[in-house]
Structures are given as structure tokens and as C-alpha cells.
Amino acid sequence: MRTSTRGSRRLMALAAVAALTTGLLAGCAEDSDDGSSDSDGGSGGGKTTLTIGTFGVFGYKQAGLYDEYMKQNPDITIKENVTTRTDVYWPKTLTRLQAGSGTDDIQAIEVGNIAEAVQTQGDKFVDLGKDVDKSQWLDWKTAQATTKDGKTIGLGTDIGPMAVCYRKDLFKAAGLETDRVKLAEQWKGDWSKYVDVGKDYMKKAPKGTKFVDSAASVYNAALGGESERYYDKDGNVIWDKSSGVEKAWDASMEVATSNMSAKLKQFDKPWDQAFANGGFATVACPAWMLGYIQEKSGDAGEGKWDVAAAPTAANWGGSFIGVPTAGKHQKEAIKLAKWLTAPEQQAKVFGKQASFPSTPSAYASLKPQAATTTFFSDAPITQIFSDSAKTIPTQIFGVKDQPINTAISDIGILQVEQKGKTPDQGWDAATKEIKDVLGQ
């Protein structure tokens, strides 16, 4: 997703999946040659056509929001330009922003790219902070899209508050606690305690099962609860001395060097099949993961999966929408962006595809689909994710945040987990890739 050096070309392909939330992936259309496909947001004979550039499936069309807005505003027609892959979407968007032409009236920005947008493209977006009540959003969410001089270039859409999804039937067979509240207490406060539960699980694990899908998922979940990641507040790269990275790496290495991991790469076909086959007992579970688990597990998983609070409040995923200054219809685009990201509309998208709102006032009204509630053993889904969302620390993202994360999770950790390398060798492999990306 960056310039085409040797290492970053390889990272581009890996980062596409790592950054996408599952809710986005689940409904993606088939890629065209450039990874893009245009789809009308609904029919209408409005005088002004507003274009929205998104990636994957944002849920606006699926939740009927475009049609609803056009009905309320008959002078507006909405057209959504969808790019199915982020490794195509963001570079294409950057090129158009820098050229000052060709942008959509509204552009989506994935959380892994928000720092780059803020730090290098801030002058290419309208300051939306002047037009909204910023207290509607979680403070840490708005902070991610705010420049040093206080300009807010994007309004928060979904977030990825963390829980742990687990197979209570497999836990019971292994002689472990199955009650979601008591289980959460066992690993509360530290992902290393979660790993300890995994060690206990493997002592009597049902044949053919593992405790967790992958060490990389543990790494990303643990890092999602740390305020210190790859950059400091001044924009300096600190990935190699970050306390947050160290803790997440250590937890992932406990998994990678043990027998508790199914050693699967997330979003690959074998990972999908393991949901259906009951191949692992737990998975780090951002809110958007629910729909994915439900889809891939099928009827065989209904009532067997449950949801417990994660060891720490954490976030994994989420996006923003912004209004480029090069847009032809800024006034109308600002109005639409405000409406799409308002609590009422975020709640509607949640009801359709479980994308969790970044607006706390929507939480009390959230209603997951009945089928989802039943599938996950009547777990209080909205309460668990709401509690996490409200206490997630503000995280600092940097310009190269996404490829650094990909190097560690998809190269370094996999060297240890799948190729039998030592943790030091895995770290060295990640370091080599990161230095390549950073041009060091």
C-alpha cells in the first residue's frame, strides 16, 4: 500500500486483508481489473450527483441509507464508487488527492491510513470539525482524524471494540469454565492470562482442536489495547522500543512456540474452513468478526459460540469518511457526511451488518439481528462491546503504521509459528522488512 520498493510490494498484498474488517470483506464483489466497481446508491432524478468513494462493503447501501437520504432530499442523487481492495483504493485516492482532481465528493479512509491522511494530506480535506458536534464521537476516534492544528479531516464511521469469541462446547469438553462472566474474570487485565487459559485447554483439548486460530490474532488483539504502538506523539518511529509492541509480541510468541495455535492465516480459506469444522476454540473478536464467524461456521456453530469480555479494552479496525477540498459539491457532501455518520444512521448499519458505531449515544438503541443473538448463545453483545468501546485508550498511528504492523504479524510471527524459527529470528525477519519499508 506504499511506494513500490521490494519489501513494500510484498506488503501491499498482505496488508489488503490485514487491514480490512471482516464486515467489509464478507460482502465484497468480484474484483475488476483495477479492483474497482461502480454501483449506484439507488435510483433518483436529482439535480446534484454526489459520489462516495468506499472500499469493501461499508453498509450504507445495504442498510438503505442512500435511498432514505435521497427520499428526504429529492434534489440529490448518490453514487457509490466501490473499490474492493484497500491496496488499490488508498494509493489511487492518494494520487487523486495530490493531483487536486478526480476525487469523489466523499472519500472513505481506513484506520490504518488515517495517520497518513492527517499528516500528509490534511490540506486536501475540508475541516469537518466546524460543522459537527464532535462530542457525538468517542474522543479517541476523533483524535485519530485530527491534525496538530486542530483540523478534523474525517468523521468516524465504525470501530472494532474487542471481545473474545469462544466455543463453549469445546471448553466444556476440555473441562474449562464455560460461563462468559467467570471466564472473562480468569483472563481479565492481561493477554498473558488468556494464554494461560490456553495452556489449560490444551491439557484436555478435544481431538483435532486447538485453543486459538493464530498467534498473529493474539498480537493484533493485544496491541489494540495499547496506547503506545509504532509511533510516538511527535511522529517518531518507535516500533522497536515500544512497550506496547513488546507486550503484544511476547504474548504472541507464547502462542507461536506452543501447541495451542491452529497456525492459520486469517481470511485464508483454511481459516474459513476451521470455523465450520470447529478447529479452534477461541478467536480474538472485534465486533465486526461476529458476522464472519456466523457466516463461516454455518448452522453447525449456532448456539455453540459465545462471547466474553476481552482481557483489556481494545480496538481492531474502523474507518472514517472525509470531504476532499477538490470536490465539486462540498456543501452538499458535508451535509451527507454528517448524516451518514450520525448516531441514528450508525445504529442502522449495526442492525444490518454489526458494524459497531463510534457514537456512544447510539449504544442504548443498538439491536443486533435476532439470528446473531441466538447464534452467540444470547450473549449481551451490545453491552460487551459498548463497555470496551468506552474505555479504549487513544492510540497514536503513524504514516507507515499499516506496513509495519503487516511486517510483524504476517512475516515475523509467521516465521515462528509456521516455519519453526525462533522468536529472535522472527523478529529479525520483521525488522528487515520494516527497515525496507521505512527506507533505512
pLDDT tens-place string over residues 152-200: 999 999 999 999 999 999 999 999 999 999 999 999 999 999 999 999 9
Q: 11 vs 8, 14, 24, 69, 163, CA distance in Å?
A: 5, 5, 20, 38, 28
- Mean pLDDT value of segment 305-312: 98
Judged against a pLDDT cut of 80, whether residue 38 lies above it is answered with no
pLDDT at 1 (0 to 100): 27
Judged against a pLDDT cut of 90, whether residue 17 lies above it is answered with no
Q: Average pLDDT, whole number, for the chain?
A: 88
Q: Which helix (H) or strand (E) holds 159?
A: strand 155-167
Q: Which helix (H) or strand (E) holds 82?
A: strand 76-83
Categorize the per-residue pLDDT at 46 as very low, low, confident or very high, splitting at 50, 70 and 90.
low
Q: Give Rg (Cα) of the chain.
A: 21
Categorize the per-residue pLDDT at 440 as very low, low, confident or very high, splitting at 50, 70 and 90.
confident
Categorize the per-residue pLDDT at 266 as very low, low, confident or very high, splitting at 50, 70 and 90.
confident
Categorize the per-residue pLDDT at 86 as very low, low, confident or very high, splitting at 50, 70 and 90.
confident
What is the number of other CB atoms lying within 10 angstroms of the CB of residue 427? 19
- CA-closest candidate to residue 323, choices 307, 309, 334, 311: 334
Categorize the per-residue pLDDT at 234 as very low, low, confident or very high, splitting at 50, 70 and 90.
confident
Dist CA 136 CA 353 (whole Å): 21
Distance of CA 407 to the CA centre of its chain: 17
Dist CA 322 CA 52 (whole Å): 10
Categorize the per-residue pLDDT at 21 as very low, low, confident or very high, splitting at 50, 70 and 90.
very low
pLDDT, tens digit, 9 for 90 and up, residues 287-304: 989 988 998 999 989 999
Tell how strand 210-212 and strand 106-110 pair up. unpaired
pLDDT, tens digit, 9 for 90 and up, residues 416-430: 999 999 999 999 999
Judged against a pLDDT cut of 70, whether residue 29 lies above it is answered with no
pLDDT at 23 (0 to 100): 40
What is the number of other CB atoms lying within 10 angstroms of the CB of residue 383? 12
pLDDT at 45 (0 to 100): 52
- CA-closest candidate to residue 78, choices 46, 126, 37, 102: 46
Percentage of the chain beyond pLDDT 70 is 90
Percentage of the chain beyond pLDDT 90 is 75
pLDDT at 233 (0 to 100): 85
pLDDT, tens digit, 9 for 90 and up, residues 336-383: 999 999 999 999 999 888 789 999 999 999 988 888 899 999 999 999
Is the CB of residue 49 less than 8 Å from the CB of residue 79? yes
- Mean pLDDT value of segment 192-220: 97
For 207, the grid coordinates are 481431538
Residues with Cβ within 8 Å of 13's Cβ and at least 6 positions away in sequence, in order, are: 87
- Mean pLDDT value of segment 137-160: 94
